[in-house]
Chain A
Amino acid sequence: MPSTSAADDQDLVEAARAGDEEAYTVLVRRYSPAMMRLARMYVPTAALAEDVVQETWVAVLRGLERFEGRSSFKTWLFRILVNRAKTRGVREHRSIPFASLGTGGEGSEDGDDGPTVDPSRFAESGAWTSAPARWEDDPELALDSKEARRIVLEAIDTLPERQKVVITMRDVEGLSSDEVRNALDLTETNQRVLLHRARAKVRAALEDWIDA
């Protein structure tokens, strides 16, 4: 997502509220792809995700007059989306109550609370036994390739649900940690732990691909 300022959003919202179709179109184009991806994590089909996104924009239009700008537009929008997607996910029997997953500990789910780097990489002293490769010094390495992006997408796709949602919102869509915490009702620690585990797995997937 192109980085856009909250002030810019605020202007567009004001204009849309006054009936400016152009401004509304800009907002729709700016956020709908990210909304689709996010909705898709809660509902089983792309068609349902589309429904959720449409419902969200309708809710936004209805609420636009009441939007006070106490939170950023983006936070408000994603919060509505997540609530709608959750409701729809439950209705479609693909319930992923976000907060109730992995209540066993901060970020832990599916027993996923161990070290994020393979322990065999470290000696008893806690020092590395084998050096992580210097990716930046490898002229052959094509991290800007389609293949690298495919590896990353696949890695994200196989993450536990909450880690997937958090890394998508933070690192793919570029939301701030506050925006993600607010949209998903996570504590700061929880959000960070989920992000940490997700990022570590994606890095490991790239490393496997590079070393192969």
Chain B
Amino acid sequence: MTFRPRLPWRRRPAGTPPGGLRCVELVELVTEYLEGTLAPDARARFEVHIDSCDYCGAYLEQMRMTLDVVGHLQPDDLDPEMERELLDAFKSWKTTGDA
């Protein structure tokens, strides 16, 4: 019996990736997919692939979870002294017409 590597996509003969898209190609389209900038045809093929390839599904989910962490980095609070200076500039603009 010859060793055959298990394909990440299910129930597919070797050489015909779902959506006509190979995993190595799909990962480079993830940002376009998430941005909604893929052409309709490419988007459909992307989704066909994702629906039948657990591995790419996992990758896409990892990317979504990564973005969630990035989106939750704490914005620093503004230094109170700087805020005061910025307000002073406003007051001077208000009274003199120039900041």
Contact = CB atoms under 8 A, between A and B. Distances in A.
Interface of A: 1, 16, 19, 21, 24-25, 28-29, 32-34, 36-37, 50, 53-54, 57-58, 61-62, 115-117, 119, 122-123, 125-129, 131-136, 143-144, 148-149, 152-153, 156, 167, 171-174, 177, 188, 192, 195-196, 199-200, 202-203, 206-207
B62 A133 contact: yes
Chain B interface helix/strand/loop/mixed: helix
Chain A interface helix/strand/loop/mixed: helix
B9 interface: yes
A50 B79 CA distance: 10
B90 A127 contact: no
Contact residues on B (Cβ < 8 Å of other chain), bracket: 35 or more
Given A33-B78, A61-B90, A62-B93, 8 more contacts: A1-B75, A24-B87, A54-B86, A57-B86, A58-B93, A125-B14, A195-B35, A196-B30
Given A117-B27, A125-B22, A19 B76 contact: no
Nearest to A167: B70
Instruction: Name, among A58, A115, A156, the residue most crowded by chain B CB atoms within 10 Å (CB to CB).
Output: A58
B5 interface: yes
Contacts of B83: 25, 28-29, 32
B62 A203 contact: yes
Interface in B1-47: 5, 7-9, 14-15, 17, 22-25, 27-28, 30-32, 35, 37
A189 to B, nearest CB: 9
Interface string B66-84: 1111111111111100110
Given A29-B78, A116-B28, A192-B31, A54 B73 contact: no
A28 to B, nearest CB: 5
Given A122-B23, A143-B68, A177-B35, A54 B14 contact: no
A54 B35 CA distance: 33
